A and B are shown apart, each in its own frame.
Chain A
Amino acid sequence: MHDTTATSHYSPNTDSDREAMLAAIGVESAANLFDDIPQDYRFPALDIPAPLSEFELRQELGDLAALNATPGDYACFLGAGSYRHHVPAIVRALAFRGEFLTSYTPYQPEVSQRTLQAHYEFQTLICQLTGMEVANAGMYDGATSLAEAAMMAARITKRNRIVLAETVSPAYQSVVHTYTQGHDNLQVDVIAADGSDIPEDAACVVVQQPNFFGYLNDLEEMASRVHELGALLIVSVDLASLGMFRAPGSYDADIVVAEAQTLGVSPSYGGPYVGVLACRGGRDFLRQLPGRIVGETVDTEGRTGYVLTLQTREQHIRRERATSNICTSVGLIALMSAVYMAAQGKQGLRHTAELCYHKAHYLASLIEDIPGYSLPLQGTFFREFVVQCPLPPSEVNRRLLDYKVIGGLDVSDRFENGMLLCCTDVNTRGEIEALASALAEIGANAS
């Protein structure tokens, strides 16, 4: 059988190429190029599996994927920070063009105008959607955006108390704790969601809209109370809700953070996503804004072009005094969400938000009528809501799998037998009714 001698189809070097180059370098063997590594530790064996051909790799990963229960095969009602939506074909088709996919950070603007202009579109569309004056080019995810925003608020106000409403996502709260733990001066408090007991020396108050349990609040009054105390209002917003609900800029938010995964990016078991960080446009905010920012300028011929700007805030220049250590803007995912926002546009964003709203409310109306189930919260919700089940949610979820349904998130630590359910545009009427009848059967068998 014919056997190839090349070690990898990714690397072109053949033995004769290597010999020619080693001769030019003036060494006998490649091993000589590693002489500076302590001899006892040089060339260790690697105990990792042998190579797979592309054919075998497809099988291997296909087998791994088959071990998962895949939404689509299953009806899925999970949300809580990661959302499934219909993603138009053009999102992937455009974002995955090699010119974008395989380019680096646009440090050489003359050969990176596509990347830069796409970032600028992202910044613009995020500002339009949130009603804010300025947005950076992207953060790791919504939770780290929030942690960075809270620390930014502390720098702007020169205060040290970060205040979180208790209805902020528990995972996001954890990330704020992780990010601030090294700063002995910073304190993180959690307060009631109505904002009745904001400490006077708060640097910022963080609220989530809709809150973690899916419900919206009128935040206008909250904003004025926060501002009276000299603190900043940070709103962690569900961007999909902004197709129909008020933009945080309109109720005077100072900083807005969000997870842009909901705009055209698949859940992908938690990442990669892209975080949004938008704020007021004054120099005091701009100078404290972490992450990359793209700005418009002109070239030597007077033509418009884009560059990375205000870079002195960043780690590669300011080093230990940088506003953050972040070195990415998750450009690819930001581009996907920019294409999604463009494709959805003014009408599609509204339409998709309303689909989510009506489907979630239809599901809620069905569940309310099932004996043993109830909705513990009152008020306006967007696409998520809490249901109290007659059994522990983990048990309900386990039984739902037999109906090919992935149920909601267990929030029984906050509501007795509470489950957080989510409906988006991809949950069909058939799925919604199947969930309701499955819950009815599970409830009936429970008693």
Chain B
Amino acid sequence: MTTPERWLEKHNRKLLMDRSAPGRIGASHARLDVPESELPDAALLRDNLDMPEVSESEIVRYFSQLSHYNFSIDHNFYPLGSCTMKYNPKINDEMAALPGLSEIHPFQPEETVQGALKLIWHIQEILAEVVGMAGASVSPKAGAESEFAGMLMARAYHLSRGDDKRKKVLIPDSAHGTNPASAVVAGFHVVSLPTNEQGNTDLAALEAAIGDDLAGFMLTQPSTLGIFDTNLSEVIQIVRDAGGILYGDGANLNALLGKVKLGELGFDVVHSNLHKTFTQPHGGGGPGAGAVLVSERLLPYLPEPHVTRAEDEDGERFSLTTPPQSIGRLGPFQGNFGALVRAYAYIRTLGDVGVSQISEDAVINANYILSQLRGTFDLPQDRHCKHEVVFSAKNLKDNFGVSGKDVCKRLIDSGIHPPTMYFPLPDVVEESLLIEPTETESKETLDQFIEVMKLIAKEAEEDPDLLLNAPHNTPNTRLDEALAARRPVLRWSRD
């Protein structure tokens, strides 16, 4: 039955093509200020351009109405584990939009973009210092592309030594799926390593898996279980002795700034997701930006272009260069420069003291949640965590038939974004709830979250249907994902 609410709701969700009316325009049309030229052969021209015709005010209203349908960090707490959803400073966006940074063309001659190159060079240097590596490239456009670049460098390193048997990459089962996918795209095959009961790398399994075909080991520190591997020194020794490259996934760098430098521990490649640790807004799933950082022995293989600095009597000069044995280009240009501006602005704002404080506060906040929700949910690893903590809703599932997903959906009703669910994978932690508060949340916010989580656990016992049917206050109730996959409808079409 059509109620006024339903009717309005339906109208709000109408797509642009259905809002179209012939003759309307949504942008001012510049006048042609040069003589017209003859148009080319009609065989090359299109006669049908079926695009929307909507006025500017209607477009603004449409997208603004849709805004109410999203949670965001600006809106509320967003403890989505492994995603580091910290506050995105507004000044960073303003800086990235400076015309002298946003309007410059990627093919401008070097002498006309010295400011941009200087900024890139500085961020390369700063990131290498923070992670303790010999050099950095900021051309990757995301974490996954950094991983890919890092593994290509590992490959190039082995091949340059005539070591063409090294095709195997070891990856713990707790790793994010991107690690194995990236290793395969770079031409390796992957062997998954079990995690032991303490959440560390299983050393016996590692010993058994190494050999002269070992190309490398990809390890996330702290791991996706939010804990630092206490076997790390042994792991590094074993992999190095076997001739493997040690890859550090820096997705969780927010726990380590000023606390440890992965390069000093012996990692050969580390990547940093600048959009997480150094606050590029996530924009509904990108853009990201990645840095790939390397030890001395991998410097010759960095992607091109790499920014270098030279100094003479005329002053300093920055250039785009190709490292001698570069793996090549990851994109047509220099990476996601706009994201680099934001990362640079953020790091310069916090400075040496502030950057170390990030990790201290992120880790305190996560451990505080751990201490307050212990007992309410299962805690697979009951030890100090780093910047994130994994709980399990297995107790609620076993006792009351509600899953981690149901807890998450009920949390939505409180206006808080759910933690990450189903990751780490079910064979590592069942019904996992991966919670990452970040350092930009106050104790009061954490207390609210803790309180709500306890109430939800109580509801699970007293009135499980409240969870099973949640969320209750959103524009859509639970959506039929099976239907979407079985009979894909992936675009508007004229009825």
Q: Touching in the complex, A and B, CB below 8 A?
A: yes
User: Is A48 within 8 A of B352, CB to CB?
Assistant: yes
User: Is A348 within 8 A of B29, CB to CB?
Assistant: yes
Q: Does A194 contact B (CB under 8 A)?
A: no
User: Is A271 within 8 A of B115, CB to CB?
Assistant: no
- In the complex, A425 Cα to B354 Cα: how many Å? 45
User: Is A93 within 8 A of B491, CB to CB?
Assistant: no
B117-154 CB contacts (< 8 Å) to partner A: 118-119, 126, 129-130, 132, 141-145, 147-148, 151-152
Q: Does B328 contact A (CB under 8 A)?
A: yes
User: Is B105 within 8 A of A57, CB to CB?
Assistant: no
User: Is A359 within 8 A of B34, CB to CB?
Assistant: yes
A24-B371, A121-B15, A293-B490 as given contacts; A181 in contact with B328, CB under 8 Å: yes
- In the complex, A155 Cα to B186 Cα: how many Å? 16
User: Which of B347, B439, B471 lies in contact with A48, CB distance below 8 A?
Assistant: B347
> Of residues A20, A141, A218, A335, which shows the largest number of chain B Cβ atoms within 10 Å of its Cβ?
A141
User: Which of B27, B102, B286, B492 lies in contact with A333, CB distance below 8 A?
Assistant: B286
User: Is A70 within 8 A of B187, CB to CB?
Assistant: no
User: Is B479 within 8 A of A328, CB to CB?
Assistant: no
User: Is B74 within 8 A of A244, CB to CB?
Assistant: no
- In the complex, A48 Cα to B261 Cα: how many Å? 14
Q: Does B455 contact A (CB under 8 A)?
A: no
Q: Does B442 contact A (CB under 8 A)?
A: yes
User: Is A325 within 8 A of B285, CB to CB?
Assistant: no
Q: Does A339 contact B (CB under 8 A)?
A: yes
A67-B114, A325-B182, A357-B37 as given contacts; A99 in contact with B72, CB under 8 Å: yes
Q: Which residue of A lies closest to B186 (CB)?
A: A182
Q: Which residue of A lies closest to B47 (CB)?
A: A246
> Of residues A35, A320, A344, A380, which shows the largest number of chain B Cβ atoms within 10 Å of its Cβ?
A320
Identify 12 residue pairs between A and B in the complex whose beta-carbon atoms are under 8 Å apart, listed by A's number. Answer: A21-B367, A38-B232, A44-B260, A51-B353, A61-B101, A62-B98, A63-B115, A110-B477, A272-B336, A349-B49, A355-B32, A362-B37
Q: Does A144 contact B (CB under 8 A)?
A: yes
Q: Does B216 contact A (CB under 8 A)?
A: no
Q: Does B160 contact A (CB under 8 A)?
A: no
User: Is A328 within 8 A of B285, CB to CB?
Assistant: yes
- In the complex, A392 Cα to B437 Cα: how many Å? 57
Q: 8 shortest A-B CB distances, which residue pairs?
A: A182-B187, A332-B283, A65-B100, A270-B333, A51-B351, A67-B115, A98-B74, A272-B287
Interface locus among B54-62, B241-249, B394-402? B54-62
Q: Write the B353-373 contact mask toward A (1 if CB under 8 angstroms, else 0).
A: 111111011011101101110
Chain A residues with CB under 8 A of B442:
12-13, 17
Chain A residues with CB under 8 A of B183:
320
Chain B residues with CB under 8 A of A328:
141-142, 144, 285-288
> Of residues B32, B230, B289, B386, which shows the largest number of chain A Cβ atoms within 10 Å of its Cβ?
B32
Chain B residues with CB under 8 A of A245:
44-46
- In the complex, A332 Cα to B339 Cα: how many Å? 12
Q: Does B337 contact A (CB under 8 A)?
A: yes
Interface locus among B75-83, B203-211, B291-299, B456-464? B75-83
User: Is A64 within 8 A of B119, CB to CB?
Assistant: yes
Q: Write the B469-485 contact mask toward A (1 if CB under 8 angstroms, else 0).
A: 10100111111110111
Chain B residues with CB under 8 A of A47:
129, 352
User: Which of B75, B88, B89, B142 lies in contact with A140, CB distance below 8 A?
Assistant: B142
Q: Does B165 contact A (CB under 8 A)?
A: no
- In the complex, A397 Cα to B107 Cα: how many Å? 12
CB distance from B135 to the nearest CB of A (A): 15
A8-B357, A57-B95 as given contacts; A347 in contact with B29, CB under 8 Å: yes
Chain B residues with CB under 8 A of A229:
none
Q: Write the B407-426 contact mask toward A (1 if CB under 8 angstroms, else 0).
A: 01100100001101001000
Chain A residues with CB under 8 A of B114:
67-68
Q: Does B281 contact A (CB under 8 A)?
A: yes
A46-B356, A299-B480, A316-B176 as given contacts; A114 in contact with B83, CB under 8 Å: no
Chain B residues with CB under 8 A of A34:
259-260, 363
- In the complex, A107 Cα to B80 Cα: how many Å? 10
A174-232 CB contacts (< 8 Å) to partner B: 174-175, 177-179, 181-184, 216, 218
Known A-B contacts: A65-B99, A331-B286. Give 13 more (CB < 8 A): A8-B349, A25-B370, A76-B108, A98-B73, A114-B68, A118-B284, A128-B51, A271-B334, A272-B289, A315-B177, A315-B182, A316-B423, A335-B283
User: Is A327 within 8 A of B178, CB to CB?
Assistant: yes
A69-B113, A174-B329, A327-B143 as given contacts; A346 in contact with B412, CB under 8 Å: no
> Of residues A61, A97, A267, which shows the largest number of chain B Cβ atoms within 10 Å of its Cβ?
A61
Chain B residues with CB under 8 A of A179:
185
Chain B residues with CB under 8 A of A78:
105, 107-108
CB distance from A420 to the nearest CB of B (A): 9
- In the complex, A242 Cα to B336 Cα: how many Å? 26
A115-131 CB contacts (< 8 Å) to partner B: 115, 117-121, 123-125, 127-129
A275-295 CB contacts (< 8 Å) to partner B: 281, 286, 292-295
User: Is B187 within 8 A of A181, CB to CB?
Assistant: yes
Q: Which residue of A lies closest to B51 (CB)?
A: A346
CB distance from B250 to the nearest CB of A (A): 15
Q: Does B323 contact A (CB under 8 A)?
A: no
CB distance from B421 to the nearest CB of A (A): 8
User: Is A111 within 8 A of B70, CB to CB?
Assistant: yes
User: Is A218 within 8 A of B112, CB to CB?
Assistant: no
User: Is A300 within 8 A of B26, CB to CB?
Assistant: no
User: Is B328 within 8 A of A174, CB to CB?
Assistant: yes
> Of residues B46, B91, B367, which shows the largest number of chain A Cβ atoms within 10 Å of its Cβ?
B46
- In the complex, A125 Cα to B99 Cα: how many Å? 29
Q: Does A341 contact B (CB under 8 A)?
A: yes
Q: Write the A46-63 contact mask toward B (1 if CB under 8 angstroms, else 0).
A: 111111101001101111
- In the complex, A3 Cα to B354 Cα: how many Å? 16
CB distance from A249 to the nearest CB of B (A): 10
User: Is B282 within 8 A of A41, CB to CB?
Assistant: no
CB distance from B50 to the nearest CB of A (A): 5
B269-291 CB contacts (< 8 Å) to partner A: 281-289
CB distance from A173 to the nearest CB of B (A): 9
Q: Which residue of A lies closest to B96 (CB)?
A: A268
